[in-house]
Amino acid sequence: MNTLGEELAPRKKEQAIIALLTHRNVEEAAKAVGIWTRKLFRWQKEPDFKLEYRRARHTAYRQSIARIQQGSSAAASTLIKLLVDPTTPASTRARAAEIILNQSTKSIEIEDLDARVEELERSAEESKPDSKPEQRRRWGRP
Residue 23 gets which letter from DSSP? S
Per 3-state DSSP, the chain is made up of helix, strand and coil in percentages (nearest 5) of 85, 0, 15
Q: Which residue, 136, 116, 140, is CA-closest to 126?
A: 136
Q: Which residue, 22, 40, 21, is CA-closest to 30?
A: 40
Mean pLDDT (the chain) is 90
pLDDT under 70 in the chain at which residues? 1-8, 131-142
Residue-wise pLDDT for 88-121, tens only, equals 999 999 999 999 999 999 999 999 999 999 999 9
Q: What is the predicted pLDDT for the residue at 1?
A: 43
* C-alpha dihedral (39, 42, 46, 49), degrees to nearest 10: 40
Q: Which helix (H) or strand (E) holds 46?
A: none
Taking a C-beta distance cutoff of 8 angstroms, is the pair 43, 13 a contact? yes
For residue 89, give the 3-state DSSP assignment. coil
